[in-house]
């Protein structure tokens, strides 16, 4: 898996060895953590679905067909990897309709774990976090080195790169985004438009983060930084952080980087100069993002890892568990540990 073109340098040093990711779908398990209390009534049917070796969009299409509704009336919180076993929420908008009979859909690769009515549809990104259980096979690394690196990851976090799956196979999403940006237009299809704008934003963010990693300051403050809490979309000036505030060291608060759009950068001094320099290196993409009406937003540069545990089922296999905030990528964690090879057909073609 060569992700160096889309992600920057590693933050914690050279990988400890090599392993295979996703030798089989059971080696990669993801569970959405949803902190929404469902009312039990309303026109939206929420379903917790476990899927195996299926992508999210295909499951949404199957649900729409089986329920006799339009695809736009099927919602989901996040896109999950195909070659995996994932548990994720969907909602079906069924105004004035009874619960549809979906029993024909369920088989060894798709099953419903829970269902309940609610008054609102499921919004993208509505889940609080994702819990991962990942088994890495054909392991070639010393356990002592792996244990030390995993402890470091638990203590310091990792650079919060957007994963390579955001950029498409062989960077295809980037190529498409540049094509539309150079034309000064937007794809007519809403899904394609959203995907390509997100890709362009992610590339700019990753390049800012790569610069910070190279300078060794991705996980501590520089002059003019903006900070954010792990699960918050709001940000504030680092000047508001008292000298004795321990939240930065305790991985509660983090420096942020730009999700590019209209408006002034909230950073200043050193931080702003770096972000402006990266934007100047991608003038067409940044102008395209501004013209599309996106507003400047922020994303944390450092990714804290919650509940990290690991064990070795066999000498050549490592199994790890951890929880990440919504919108963050397991690949950002794994690449700080090992060089990973995909089994044929096992690529990370979607995000978690």
Catalytic residue positions, numbered: 81
Beta bridge partners of 342: 21
Q: Is 303 exposed, middle or buried (0-12, 13-18, 19+ CB in 10 A)?
A: buried
What is d(CA 298, CA 258) in angstroms, rounded to the nearest whole number?
5
CA–centroid distance for 206 within its chain: 13
In angstroms and rounded to an integer, the radius of gyration of the C-alpha atoms of the chain is 21
What is d(CA 336, CA 121) in angstroms, rounded to the nearest whole number?
37
Q: Please state, as a whole number, how many other Cβ atoms lie within 10 Å of the Cβ of residue 267.
A: 25
Return phi, psi of residue 48, to 5°.
-95, 115
Residue with tokens 């402890």: 151
What is d(CA 12, CA 29) in angstroms, rounded to the nearest whole number?
25
- Cα dihedral 287, 264, 257, 214, rounded to 10, equals 80
Query: Is residue 86 a contact partner of residue 51, using CB atoms and an 8 Å limit?
Result: yes
Closest-CA residue to 324 (of 185, 158, 117): 158
What is d(CA 106, CA 96) in angstroms, rounded to the nearest whole number?
25
């Amino acid at each position: 898996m060569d992700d160096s073109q889309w992600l920057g340098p590693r933050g914690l040093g050279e990988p400890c060895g090599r392993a295979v990711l996703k030798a089989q779908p059971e080696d990669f398990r993801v569970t959405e953590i949803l902190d929404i209390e469902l009312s039990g009534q309303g026109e939206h049917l929420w379903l917790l679905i476990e899927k195996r070796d299926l992508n999210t969009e295909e499951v949404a299409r199957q649900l729409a067909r089986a329920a006799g509704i339009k695809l736009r009336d099927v919602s989901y919180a996040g896109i999950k990897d195909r070659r995996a076993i994932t548990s994720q929420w969907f909602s079906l908008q069924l105004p004035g309709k009874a619960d549809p009979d979906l029993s024909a859909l369920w088989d060894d690769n798709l099953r419903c774990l829970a269902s309940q009515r609610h008054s609102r549809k499921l919004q993208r990104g509505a889940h609080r976090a994702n819990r991962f259980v990942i088994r890495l096979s054909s392991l070639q690394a010393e356990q002592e080195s792996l244990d030390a690196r995993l402890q470091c990851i638990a203590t310091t976090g990792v650079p919060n790169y957007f994963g390579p799956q955001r950029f498409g196979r062989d960077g295809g999403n980037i190529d498409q985004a540049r094509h539309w940006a150079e034309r000064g237009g937007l794809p007519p299809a809403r899904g394609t438009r959203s995907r390509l704008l997100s890709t362009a934003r992610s590339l700019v963010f990753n390049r800012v983060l790569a610069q910070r990693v190279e300078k060794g300051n991705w996980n501590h403050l520089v002059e003019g930084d903006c900070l954010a809490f792990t699960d918050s979309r709001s940000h504030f000036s680092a000047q508001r952080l008292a000298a004795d505030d321990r939240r930065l060291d305790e991985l509660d608060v983090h420096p942020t980087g730009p999700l590019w759009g209209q408006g002034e950068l909230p950073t200043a001094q050193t931080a702003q100069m770096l972000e402006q320099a990266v934007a100047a290196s991608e003038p067409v993409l940044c102008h395209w993002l501004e013209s599309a009406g996106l507003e400047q937003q922020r994303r944390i540069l450092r990714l804290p890892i919650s509940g990290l545990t690991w064990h070795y089922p066999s000498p050549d296999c490592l199994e790890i568990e951890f929880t990440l905030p919504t919108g963050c990528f397991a690949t950002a964690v794994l690449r700080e540990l090992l060089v990973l090879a995909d089994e044929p057909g096992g690529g990370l073609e979607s995000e978690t």
